[in-house]
Each structure stands twice: as structure tokens, then as C-alpha cells.
């Protein structure tokens, strides 16, 4: 979806995605590329935030990312670097 309010600018909206939790599996053809136990996963990047910056970071994100829900999710393949 295009967004000019917190991504991009009027006339050139940035791209954002909305993720919706679902108990059903998608039938999108791209899912045939993944093992069955990985079809319902979202792939991406997690960024580590130092403990003393968490409150400040969340305050900033709450203001910037309007209308989202904050969830705690398990992470796999975490690389320390």
C-alpha cells in the first residue's frame, strides 16, 4: 500500500505492508518453494536495541508508525554482529 503520511511524500508515497495474523494457510504459488512448516512465517530483519534505548525507541516508533499493534514474537537464526 502507498503511504504519504509516514513513508514517502505527497505524489511519491512510500510502500508499507500490513501483516494480518491468520490461522489459515495461503495458497499463493510462491509457498511451494518452502517446506510446509515454514509457510506461515514472515521473513525479515530484526534490529537489536540496547536496553537503555528501548523506551526512547518505542516512543519514536509509536509516533511514527501510527495504527499498529506491538507484538512479541519468537526469532530464529539470530546473528550477533
| pLDDT tens sequence across 35-70 | 666 656 666 677 889 999 999 999 988 887 777 778
Confidence of residue 28 (pLDDT cuts 50, 70, 90): low
User: Using CA atoms, how far apart are residues 44 and 32, in angstroms rounded to an integer?
Assistant: 19
Catalytic choice (31, 55, 56, 65)? 65
Distance, CA of 57 to CA of 15 (rounded, Å): 22
Residues facing residue 3 across a β-bridge: 14
Ordered alpha helix ranges (H), the chain: 54-64
Reply yes or no on whether 31 is catalytic: no
Amino acid at each position: 500500500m502507498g503511504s504519504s503520511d509516514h513513508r514517502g511524500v505527497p505524489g511519491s508515497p512510500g510502500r508499507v505492508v500490513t501483516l494480518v495474523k491468520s490461522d489459515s494457510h495461503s495458497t499463493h504459488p510462491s509457498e511451494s518453494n518452502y517446506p510446509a512448516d515454514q509457510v506461515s512465517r514472515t521473513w525479515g530483519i530484526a534490529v537489536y536495541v540496547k536496553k537503555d534505548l528501548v523506551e526512547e525507541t518505542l516512543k519514536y516508533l509509536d509516533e511514527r508508525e501510527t495504527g499498529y499493534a506491538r507484538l512479541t514474537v519468537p526469532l530464529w537464526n539470530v546473528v550477533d554482529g
